[in-house]
Structure 1
Amino acid sequence: MAEYQISTNEGGITQITISGAVASTDSELFRAFSHLSSSKCALVNFLELSEASEELFTRLEDVSSRTKIKVIVTKPEFVTKCNKIGLQTFPTTKSATLSHAGDETLRLLIAQLRDVPILNTEAYKLIQHVASPDANFPELEKMLQNNAGLCSQILRTANSSYFMRSSKAETLQQAMVTLGFAPLRQIFIYNFYNSVGNFFGVQKDTVEHGQDCAKLAEYIAQSAGASQAECAKIRLIGLLHDVGRQALAFFFPQQYEKVQHLIRVDKNPSYLAELVVFGTEHQSIGSILANSWNFPDYLSKVIADHHYLKATDWNKLSLPVFCANNFLNQRDGEPFSPYYHKLEGYFFLKRAELPWKDIDAEFNEFLARPQEF
């Protein structure tokens, strides 16, 4: 017969710890699951569980329809059964508790984002339109007709040497047709991010870091022979890679002070410090924002992975950003990951030779040049 204990941990989360062998007749244990049903979230600890009947997993699946459950378990057979019914598994109580904290952070953030004024900007509405399957140039022209800044930017880009038109685009619609929806979407995202930067304006250092990262990542890509289309994507990723950090710092300023303390004093990388404080990190937040704002898939994928580099499919986009980001962190005295071998790996992928003899000096010299952003 199984034994169990119900407790409440420091985060106020109900936890039931089950030990021994659970039989299908353990009715007292199954009745105790009613304590879990009355909570928004709960932990179930299987670390001392030796055997488990199918009835245990059936009951847990039923409770999970009402309560967000995370299971603490290491035995492979129990992990497999939990995953089969859609339950998240964690090796320790701490990791499961942090995951709950991360869920709560995301819930609060998404709730607050619904009311932010940046979602009413013209650029945001334009992004939504071009992402729609019903997008069309006449409707887009109507939406743009009173925005002189965006109209001139579109005409200037369409008539640049990159598109090699035989004659100049003389109307907005001609310019939009020349560019196509994907480059137009990039232009609108840049303009939208300006609104985001103004909204998160208290974080001047993070905005400037993003601008430097965009410039340097694009420079790395150009030096490796990347196409203009690739370079444009890499520049945009560099600019936006820390948007999740901006959101966390803006909406949770007191908690983010703790993150800054861990970075400064304990020399923890930002994403690890954020995990300790929030149970999630700016990569995940940034990816969720990118998806909710209808940004292209490559942006959400690389933003989610710009510290870990687990998604190797995106290496041609993520590696320049990883290298630029860590070079800047090293320059600014922030915790950083070694990047030289990743830089070599990127040039190997592009079948190019590294052109720099003194990377620190030459990168700093490039960043010191006056450049338009």
Structure 2
Amino acid sequence: MPRADDSRTEAVLDLGPLASAVRRSLNGDHPGETGTMLPPLVDHHVHLMIIGEDALADTAIAGFVDLGAPPDLVAARRHRGGLPRADFAGAFLTAPGGYPVGRTWAAPGSAREIAAEHGDGRSALPSAAETAVSEQHAFGASVIKVALNAAAGPVFDRATLDAIVASAHRLGLPVVAHVEGDGMARLAVDAGVDALAHTPFTEVVDDGLIARAVAIGQRWISTLYVAGYGEPTPDAERAADNLRRFAAAGGRVLYGTDLGNGDQPLGVNPAELALLASAGLDAAHLVAAITDPWPRRARAEGIATFVPGPPPATTHDLPEWLATACVVPTEDLELL
């Protein structure tokens, strides 16, 4: 019979195939430290025009997707190397007078208004939609963002939205939509939008529409925290329920914080991860959500995420554990 003081190995979470046990190099500040290696961490929804261009430097976030900024900021940042790796949407494409036109937080040039499409599409001249998409691409955008916020002003009609999506796809760019207000999630699915910038929070997305979103491969960027800032508001409850059913149906969830919206930590936000776990994502799916390279196809090479110490035993403790992560060169880690 084992004695009461015998050491025992505690159970730890299964983090899935993306995680590996490693030891750090004997060189450096933490020689021989053991922990877990994960792919580079990505925040799929930030706003540098609010938080500042260098706000994510020296954090555990190795990549980010800026979902709304003036094109001159995009052009300036795209030529900088180093970490974190950046992808940009450029300006919000919106209907005349639509969201976020007039918002105090929206820097000049961060909203691009597009007139409604007219005609049969056979003109030799580019349409307003084609011109706006081409502008963002020329400035360095790798994704196109459209504003579908019926709660805050006019939105695109279906013909104009179709023209934007078609123009973006011809350039190989995915389209992400801010959806807010009744019917906006359906409009995005009907038009073949590739991703939602937020989990829908102002309307309940029915199971049939969720099934259609999953079938077309639509991704949902989480941003659960900013739906209630940690409080059980109706928006927060709707978002959590929508995401729970989307994930259960096989939908692809991307970790995103909408950094710049409210008071949030720079780097990994444990509160966002905790809400994802509460919405039903297990440890392996949480890791997949925060390491997905979207909109790129490949992860950054030569770097990895290192989380010191053994993985926690419960999903409840996973967010705070991940918040201790850092970016290290892959060559500094040895598989155990």
- Coarse TM-score class (shorter-chain normalised): under 0.3
Which protein has the bigger helix share? 1
Larger radius of gyration: 1
Which protein has the bigger strand share? 2
TM-score, normalization by structure 1: 0.24
TM-score, normalization by structure 2: 0.26
Q: Which has the higher contact order (CA 8 A, sep 6+)?
A: 2
